Each structure stands twice: as C-alpha cells, then as structure tokens.
Amino acid sequence: MSAVQPRRALVLLSGGQDSATCLAWALTRYAEVETLGFDYGQRHRVELDCRERLCTGLQAMAWPGRLGPDHLLTVDVLAQLGGSAMTDEVTIAMQADGLPNTFVPGRNLLFFTLAAALAYRRGLDVLVGGMSETDYSGYPDCRDSTLKALQVALSLGVDRPLTLETPLMWRSKADTWALAQRLGGDALVELIRCESHTCYLGQRGDLHAWGHGCGGCPACELRAQGWEQWTAQRSLNGA
Ligand code: ZN
C-alpha cells in the first residue's frame, strides 16, 4: 500500500457501493478526507440516509482522525430540468439516443464544479468520484476523457491545481468488491454490503447476499452480478 499523502481530499459520496469504496480508498491515501453529497431531488432519499451510516461506520474503522466534515448541498435545478427517471416518476427505459433515461444530463459536470468550489473554500486539492467506464450504462459524463477535460477546466477556473481521481474507472463491479476487501477486509465489505444503496427504485427490502434492493432494476442486477462474480473468484482462489 502506498504511503499516506499530505494532500487533502474531497470525496463525492452518494451513499452507493462505488462512492463508499472510493471513500475507503481515499482514507487509505490522504491525511484528511472530507465528503460531499447532493440532494438533487432524487426520487428516493434512502441514499442520503445511507451516507450517514457509511460515514459513521468508516469513522470507526482503521483510519482514525482522517475523516473530516461531511457536506450536503441542495441542487434543485436538476429536478427542474426534469425528464430523467432519477428525478421524475417515469419508468426506466432506453431512449432513442441509446442511453437509459436514468441519465441525468450534466449531473457529474455540475457535481464536480460544485465540488471544486467547495474544495477552493476548504483548501482541498483532490476530488474523488466513483465514476467508471467498465460496467456502466454509457453515461457520457462518467467517461475518463470527460473527467480529464473537466480536471483541466476546473483547475484553470479556480486557478489552483485540482486533481480528479476516479479509482474505479477501469474496475468492474466485481473488482470494486475486491478493492473494498483489500482496503478494509471483511468488515469493510460487510459495511458496504449492508449500508450502501444502489437500487434505482429506492427499495431497501430484504438483505440479499449482495445487499439491499429490489433485485430487478438495472442497478440491482449489476450489483448482484458483480457480487456473484467476485465471490466466485474468491472461492476459486481459495479465499
Ligand atoms: Zn433495484
């Protein structure tokens, strides 16, 4: 494991599996880590409750004193723009352009812009997000090239060198579970399994092997698939 860096990081924490893993990743690397969440009128607010439980759980783990304040910003404008299954009561479906209607155009661009503004105020230099191009829905604002371009634009825009880190960019969902295991052992895997939220329908329901959720929406399916692949790899390796 690499040495702890004196830099200070801001992690975009939604309350999902990916951002929770990114938070643990940042806690292993940076001396100080703050978290940022967005209330953007998402249909289901269960994610926001998960954020708190994840922060409390991670506080108690192996990185004492590194986890600083949590910030929550209200961003009503995305719901005003409308038209997405994440903010409107519409059925999840594929659009004519080949993207699912769970795509919220501009969301990550806006979130990172606000994160850069907060980082400027708080004196933080690294922005960490859970975007991935590997098992993803094709959202263009999750692409590595989009975020590389954004890093340049934001650094110029606040006249400060900001680094955008996306540790999951080239990791599958199975790799993301493996990363959590490496970072915090079974305790971290269990925290993320039980307390993070992925389901597009906002259902907690029963605790499945892979965590809570409806089990049928694209997000639950991806999470369940990743869990199965990871546990299969683990048993092959005799872990
Ligand atoms: Zn679901």
- For residue 199, report the distance from its CA to the centre of ligand 1, in Å: 4
Q: Where are the beta strands (DSSP E) in the chain?
A: 5-12, 30-39, 67-74, 126-128, 163-165, 207-208, 211-212
Contact 92/104 with Cβ under 8 angstroms?
A: no
Rounded distance between C-alpha atoms, residue 31 and residue 6, angstroms: 5
**199, containing H or E segment:** none
pLDDT tens track of the chain, all 239 residues?
567 888 999 999 999 999 999 999 999 999 999 999 999 876 667 888 899 999 999 999 978 889 999 999 999 888 887 766 666 676 777 877 777 777 778 889 999 999 999 999 999 999 999 999 986 677 888 899 999 999 999 999 999 999 999 999 999 999 999 999 999 999 999 999 999 998 888 888 889 999 999 999 888 999 999 999 999 999 888 76
Q: What is the pLDDT of residue 205?
A: 84
Q: What is the pLDDT of residue 32?
A: 95
Q: What is the pLDDT of residue 87?
A: 66
Rounded distance between C-alpha atoms, residue 237 and residue 21, angstroms: 22
Q: What is the pLDDT of residue 134?
A: 86
Reading the block at residue 184, the tokens are: 């915090």
- For residue 16, report the distance from its CA to the centre of ligand 1, in Å: 12
Task: Look up tokens 């795509």; give the residue.
Answer: 103
Burial class (CB in 10 A: 0-12, 13-18, 19+), 142: buried
- For residue 226, report the distance from its CA to the centre of ligand 1, in Å: 14
- For residue 212, report the distance from its CA to the centre of ligand 1, in Å: 8
- For residue 159, report the distance from its CA to the centre of ligand 1, in Å: 41
Q: Which residues contact 181 (CB under 8 A, 6 or more apart)?
A: 188, 189
pTM: 0.91
Q: What is the pLDDT of residue 79?
A: 80
- For residue 86, report the distance from its CA to the centre of ligand 1, in Å: 12
Residue 205 region by backbone torsions, left for phi larger than 0, else alpha for psi between -120 and 50, else beta: left
